[in-house]
Amino acid sequence: MQIRQVIRTPLPTIPSEYWLASPLILGFVGWIAALGTYKIAGYRWEVAAVWAASIAVFGWGIWRLEPRNQVRARIPSRDVLLVLLLLSIFGPLYLVDLYSLPFPVHNDEVELMRLEIQLSRPGVDLFGISQYLSMPVFLFSSFGWVGRAIGGIELSTMRSVHAGLGLLTIAVSYVLFRLSAPQRMVAFGAAVMVGVNHSLWMLSRMALWDNSALLFELIALAFLIQGLRTRSPLIAFIVGVAARIGFYLYLPARVTVILWVLMLACLGLISRRKIEVRRLLVLTAASVGG
């Protein structure tokens, strides 16, 4: 009886680099497919769902590029307490008696509430352009959704929504100044100066949208500084997302993208020995992907 020896060849394995890049490719393809479908067939809720899911998948792929041995920064409890102190100080100034102060109702408040009622209904093209200064529809739809969720689209409610964005702007400004300044009280004082700014205070007490652009600009700049410190692709991706949202909400917010490019260029020229060119390219690609 003869025994035959069967030689089994191992199946070909896919390199780990391909598995690492697969979410990036999948997210990019989904994003292109969503935009192409919107261009050809128009808006449907499935298009928006695929578009949002593709961004989430792409962000997950960026997260997979993070070094696994990187130490995560912890938020000091003192900074949290100072942010809460800022909110407790400026909360009454921004939120109390919004229906009566300011007493005159601006024409834009009436027009924006009308748009928010109209554009927060089902079936609205969220990728479209509104009649108000050619601003994006999604901006007013999101304001309308929040207003409906907390009490209905009326003057005091929509003023509360905008005032809440003003308070978030003060909190994020402290984070930005804290990342820039070595001392907490310097950052706290700078955030107080932002909070007592007359324009921010009074605009926040009106049912407008202006604070949304400022908020995302500050978020992008704060993550920009943290991203340069930690060399994190995920934070660089968040910078790109926040910067593009700010650009989407208000055209002058494009300065955030310019600052990000200038900082990366300076980092590449000045700190070439401290940071690898490959890491710098990864940060740039992650921010552009955002």
What string of pLDDT tens digits covers the 290 residues of the chain?
A: 444 444 444 434 444 554 567 888 888 898 899 989 998 988 888 999 999 999 899 888 888 877 666 656 677 889 999 999 999 999 999 999 998 888 788 899 999 999 999 999 988 999 988 888 888 899 999 999 999 999 889 999 999 999 999 999 999 999 999 988 878 999 999 999 999 999 999 999 999 988 888 898 889 888 888 877 777 888 888 888 888 888 787 777 777 777 777 776 776 666 555 566 666 666 666 666 66
**Cβ(221)–Cβ(256) below 8 Å:** yes
pLDDT at residue 12, rounded to an integer:
40
Burial 103-127 (b: 16+ CB within 10 A, else e): eeeeeebeebbebbbbbbeeebbbb
Q: How far apart are CA 259 and CA 281, in angstroms?
A: 17
Model's pTM, two decimal places?
Answer: 0.82
pLDDT at residue 234, rounded to an integer:
84
Q: How far apart are CA 134 and CA 132, in angstroms?
A: 5
pLDDT at residue 147, rounded to an integer:
93
Q: In sequence order, what are the residues at sequence separation of 6 or more whose Cβ sits closer than 8 angstroms to the Cβ of residue 30?
A: 50, 51, 53, 54, 57
pLDDT at residue 289, rounded to an integer:
64
Q: In sequence order, what are the residues at sequence separation of 6 or more whose Cβ sits closer than 8 angstroms to the Cβ of residue 118?
A: 124
Burial 58-79 (b: 16+ CB within 10 A, else e): bbebbebbeeeeeeeeeeeeee
pLDDT at residue 68, rounded to an integer:
64
